[in-house]
Structure 1
C-alpha cells in the first residue's frame, strides 16, 4: 500500500494546516478491509476498476491520517457528509479536511484552524484552457492570460482554475458556474479573491496559495483567515 508523505507548504500557510501527497501505480491493489462497508460499496459502484482505485487509496490514507490525530483506529473515524454534501468528521474538535486526486496522485490536507480546500489538476494544452476560459475566468483575467507569451498561458490558466476550485471547496460550495464570479489578485506569497457578483460568504477572508507538486501537476490550497467568521465553511 502506498504511504502518504508530508508535502511542504508555502510560508504563507498558517500553522495548523498540514498536507500529505500520495502516489500510486496503476496496478496497485487497495486493502479494501481498511474501508467501511459503505465505502467498499461505493468503490464497487465505479464502472471501471481503475476508476475506483483513486477513491479507495485516498480514503484509506485519509482515515489513517485522521486516526493518528484523533487517537483511534482508522475504521472508527466517524466520517460523514454535512448538509451541503461536504465530507467531514462527525466529532467535536476534529480537524477539517480536503482531498483531491488525479493521474495517480492525491493530496490530503488536514486543518485544525477551520475549513480548507485543496485541488490538483493535470496539465492541459493551452487551446483546451482557452476554449473554456469564460467558464472560470473574469473578462479581466482572460485578458491577462491571453497577454502572456504562449509558452506561459497553459500554466496561468491551470493555476487560476486550481486556486478557484480550492476556494470553493473550502467554502463548501459546488463549482457549478461560480468560478467566473470571483477574481484573483496577488497578495504577498499567495492570493486573495474579490467577488464580481454577490457571494454567500466573506470572500475577503479567503486566502490561497499554489502547491509545489511533481511536473505535470498544478495544485492549490485555500483557507479562511483564522479569525474569520467564515472559517467554519459553508458546508473534499
Structure 2
C-alpha cells in the first residue's frame, strides 16, 4: 500500500474493517499486475472528478479500468481494458423490508416487480435490480449521493437485465453473478462485448491470483475469469 492507503487503514478502528481495507488494496494491486510487468506496490491511483479511483501510474496508458465493491466481508473487483466498468455486490437479507426499500429507491415498474415476486424470490429480485443500479452508476463514475436511483429504471422482466427504453443512451450491458449462495453481484459495461476479469476475496478464504500476478501477504479468496458478451 502507499502512504495514503496506510493512513486510511490506520484510521479504521474496527479490526475487521481494517483487514478488509488492506485486503481490497492487495486485491486491486495484484490483479492489475497480471496485465503489466509492474510490481503490485508500484501502482499509483488518483480520483477522477467524480471520485472514482483511476490508475495514475506507472502503466496508465494501457487503458485499464477497475471497480471495487464489498459487503459483509466479501470483496468484488472487476477489471476491463478499453472501457469503463462498474461492479456492485450485495448480501441477500431475506427478512429485510424490500417493499419499503423499493418505495424509496425504485421506479414504479421496478416496485411492481418486487411486489409481484413470490415471497421466496423477493430478496433476489430486489438485490438484482439494486446491484444493477449501483454498478451502472459506478461505471459512470458517479454515486447515489448525486443521482436519484428512481430515475434509473430497468426492465425487470428482461434476462439479462437491461435499461428501460429511454433510460439511457448507448448499448449498456449488465451481467449477473452469484459469487456465493448468499450474494448477488452485477457488472455494468457500456458496450455489448468486453473481456472482463472478476476477482472475489473474503477474509476467510485463500485466493488464487491470475497467472503472472504475485500473491500479497494475507490475500485470500478466489479469482475466476469471465468474458461478458
Which range, TM-score by smaller chain?
A: 0.7 to 0.9
Q: Does 1:161 align with 2:130?
A: yes
Residue aligned with 2:33, SS: helix
Picking from 77, 80, 84, the partner of 1:108 is 77
Per the TM alignment, residue 191 of structure 1 is displaced from its structure 2 partner at its CA by 2.1
Q: Is the 8 A contact 1:170 1:222 kept in 2?
A: yes
Instruction: Look up the match of 1:64.
Output: 30
**Once structures 1 and 2 are overlaid, which stretch shifts more, 156-165 or 136-145?**
136-145
Rounded Cα–Cα distance in structure 1 between residues aligned with 2:69 and 2:49: 20
Instruction: Look up the match of 1:136.
Output: 105
In the superposition, the TM-score normalised over structure 1's length comes to: 0.73
Instruction: Look up the match of 1:182.
Output: 152
Instruction: Give me the CA root mean square deviation.
Output: 2.1
Give the gaps of 5 or more residues in structure 2: 194-229
Q: Is the 8 A contact 2:177 2:184 kept in 1?
A: yes
Picking from 121, 140, 153, the partner of 1:171 is 140
Residue aligned with 1:215, SS: coil
Instruction: Look up the match of 1:205.
Output: 171
Change (3 A) 1:217 1:226: closer
Rounded Cα–Cα distance in structure 1 between residues aligned with 2:96 and 2:72: 21
Instruction: Look up the match of 1:220.
Output: 186
Per the TM alignment, residue 220 of structure 1 is displaced from its structure 2 partner at its CA by 0.5
Instruction: Look up the match of 1:22.
Output: none
Per the TM alignment, residue 187 of structure 1 is displaced from its structure 2 partner at its CA by 8.9
Change (3 A) 1:204 1:173: same
Q: Does 1:152 align with 2:121?
A: yes
Rounded Cα–Cα distance in structure 1 between residues aligned with 2:159 and 2:21: 32
In the superposition, the TM-score normalised over structure 2's length comes to: 0.75
Rounded Cα–Cα distance in structure 1 between residues aligned with 2:159 and 2:125: 16
Q: Is the 8 A contact 2:48 2:54 kept in 1?
A: yes
Rounded Cα–Cα distance in structure 1 between residues aligned with 2:130 and 2:27: 26
Rounded Cα–Cα distance in structure 2 between residues aligned with 1:168 and 1:183: 12
Give the gaps of 5 or more residues in structure 1: 1-34, 228-236
**Once structures 1 and 2 are overlaid, which stretch shifts more, 58-67 or 182-191?**
182-191
Picking from 103, 117, 140, the partner of 2:86 is 117
Rounded Cα–Cα distance in structure 2 between residues aligned with 1:225 and 1:58: 26
Change (3 A) 1:45 1:113: same
Per the TM alignment, residue 45 of structure 1 is displaced from its structure 2 partner at its CA by 1.1
